[in-house]
């Protein structure tokens, strides 16, 4: 025996709650790895600058080595010249050796100055390298910790998603597969709202005024009707038509056809609905006639909803 329409609607409303919860959880799951993207980017920047600074470190190290070697040679040259001084007999020889000593001393001084300079540079580079190493290991640790958190949270959320899927399957056993498929797609694309009431002649999902034949189809409640504008599933809910509504309805767009309402249809007054309207839902509904047809076929809309 097939489900009654009011049962289908009730099932869809419950299904909607589960689905929107699940869709939300799935979004969280998807977003989670992105939370360490910034740290990962920082890490790769730090690693890149580490290798650059390491190169400078090595250059500075080898240039220090060369300078020290040159200093050693200059010292040796000066010492040798100084030794020659003892065996000197002529002024000419003296001048030549003296010149050698002076030049070697000048070179020594110049080299000592350059070595000091290079040592300062080397110390700076060494310091930078050390700081980058600390930063890299800090980031490594942060990322590892965050990964562990993500893994744990993901497991919890996945378990919850699985639980919801089981509940969904239990709830929707009697629903048509095609309907379930469409409904989930609507929920996904319409931020969690897939089944909405029409108030008067207005779809509360997209606030469009619906064609009268549509409203009638929804009121008859003998099949699933999708809003021709927003593709949500519609059901009828009695409510008072407010003044702004009257204005719209008396406009040139529509052909107003007042009739007294046939019966109050009070069965829909469920207090747990989060309807923000404090208007009484007692049946003062009027039958409105609107001279327009839905612009697009439902199936087309639903099948082309993905952006």
| Nearest to Zn ion of 201, 203 (CB atom) | 203
Span of 31-39, 42-50, 203-211, 289-297 interacting with Zn ion by CB under 5 A = 203-211
| Nearest to Zn ion of 205, 211 (CB atom) | 205
Note whether 290 and 209 are within 8 A (CB). Answer: yes
| Nearest to Zn ion of 171, 208 (CB atom) | 208
Span of 53-61, 129-137, 200-208, 242-250 interacting with Zn ion by CB under 5 A = 200-208
Question: What is the number of other CB atoms lying within 10 angstroms of the CB of residue 197?
Answer: 19
Among 209, 224, 227, 302, binds Zn ion (CB under 5 A): 227
Span of 15-23, 83-91, 195-203, 286-294 interacting with Zn ion by CB under 5 A = 195-203
Can you count the helices (H) and strands (E) in the chain?
7, 4
Min CB(272)–Zn ion separation in Å:
23
Name which of residues 204 to 223 contact Zn ion (CB under 5 A).
205-206
Give the separation between CA 239 and CA 193, rounded to whole angstroms.
20
Min CB(229)–Zn ion separation in Å:
5
With 0-12 / 13-18 / 19 or more C-beta atoms within 10 angstroms meaning exposed / middle / buried, residue 208 is middle
Give the separation between CA 293 and CA 59, rounded to whole angstroms.
80
In order of 3, 33, 68, 214, the CA distances from 217 in angstroms are 18, 46, 97, 5
Among 230, 254, 290, 302, binds Zn ion (CB under 5 A): 230
With 0-12 / 13-18 / 19 or more C-beta atoms within 10 angstroms meaning exposed / middle / buried, residue 287 is middle
Span of 2-10, 130-138, 202-210, 212-220 interacting with Zn ion by CB under 5 A = 202-210
Note whether 264 and 282 are within 8 A (CB). Answer: yes
- Pairing state of beta strands 202-203 and 233-237? unpaired
| Nearest to Zn ion of 57, 229 (CB atom) | 229
Min CB(259)–Zn ion separation in Å:
25
**Applying CB under 5 A, what is the total number of residues that bind Zn ion?**
6
DSSP 233-281: EEEEE-----HHHHHHHHSTTSB------S---GGG--TTS-----S--
| Nearest to Zn ion of 67, 195 (CB atom) | 195
Min CB(12)–Zn ion separation in Å:
15
Question: Which residues are within 8 A (CB) of 104 and not within 5 positions of it... i.e. 6 or more apart?
Answer: 74, 75, 77, 78, 81
| Nearest to Zn ion of 78, 182 (CB atom) | 182
Min CB(298)–Zn ion separation in Å:
11
Q: Does 203 bind Zn ion (CB under 5 A)?
A: yes
| Nearest to Zn ion of 19, 209 (CB atom) | 209
In order of 1, 50, 89, 208, 246, the CA distances from 281 in angstroms are 32, 70, 129, 20, 16
Note whether 304 and 260 are within 8 A (CB). Answer: no
| Nearest to Zn ion of 200, 205 (CB atom) | 205
Min CB(231)–Zn ion separation in Å:
7
Min CB(240)–Zn ion separation in Å:
20
Min CB(248)–Zn ion separation in Å:
15
Footprint of Zn ion (CB under 5 A): 203, 205-206, 227, 229-230
């Amino acid at each position: 025996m097939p489900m009654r329409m009011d049962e289908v609607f009730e099932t869809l409303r419950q299904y909607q709650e589960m689905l929107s919860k699940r869709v939300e959880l799935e979004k969280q799951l998807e977003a989670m790895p992105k939370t360490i993207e910034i740290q990962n980017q920082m890490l790769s920047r730090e690693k890149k600058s580490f290798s650059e600074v390491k190169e400078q470190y090595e250059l500075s190290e080898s240039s220090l080595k060369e300078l020290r070697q040159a200093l050693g040679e200059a010292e040796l040259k000066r010492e040798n010249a100084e030794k020659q001084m003892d065996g000197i007999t002529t002024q000419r020889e003296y001048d030549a050796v003296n010149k050698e000593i002076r030049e070697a001393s000048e070179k020594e001084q110049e080299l000592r100055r350059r070595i000091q300079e290079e040592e300062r540079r080397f110390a700076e580079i060494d310091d930078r390298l050390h700081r980058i190493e600390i930063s890299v290991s800090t980031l490594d640790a942060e990322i590892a910790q965050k990964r562990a958190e993500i893994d744990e949270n993901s497991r919890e959320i996945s378990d919850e998603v699985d639980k919801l899927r089981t509940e969904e399957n239990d709830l929707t056993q009697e629903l048509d597969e095609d309907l379930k498929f469409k409904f989930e797609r609507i929920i996904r694309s319409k931020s969690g709202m897939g089944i909405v009431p029409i108030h008067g002649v207005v779809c509360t999902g997209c606030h469009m005024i619906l064609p009268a034949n549509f409203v009638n189809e929804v009121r008859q409640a003998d099949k699933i009707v999708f809003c021709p504008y927003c593709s949500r599933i519609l059901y009828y809910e009695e409510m008072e038509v407010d003044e702004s509504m009257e204005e719209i309805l008396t406009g040139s767009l529509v052909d107003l056809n007042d009739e007294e309402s046939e019966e109050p249809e009070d069965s829909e007054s469920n207090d747990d609905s989060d309807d923000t309207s404090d208007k009484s839902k007692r049946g003062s509904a009027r039958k409105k006639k609107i001279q327009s047809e839905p612009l697009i076929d439902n199936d087309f809309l639903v099948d082309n909803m993905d952006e």
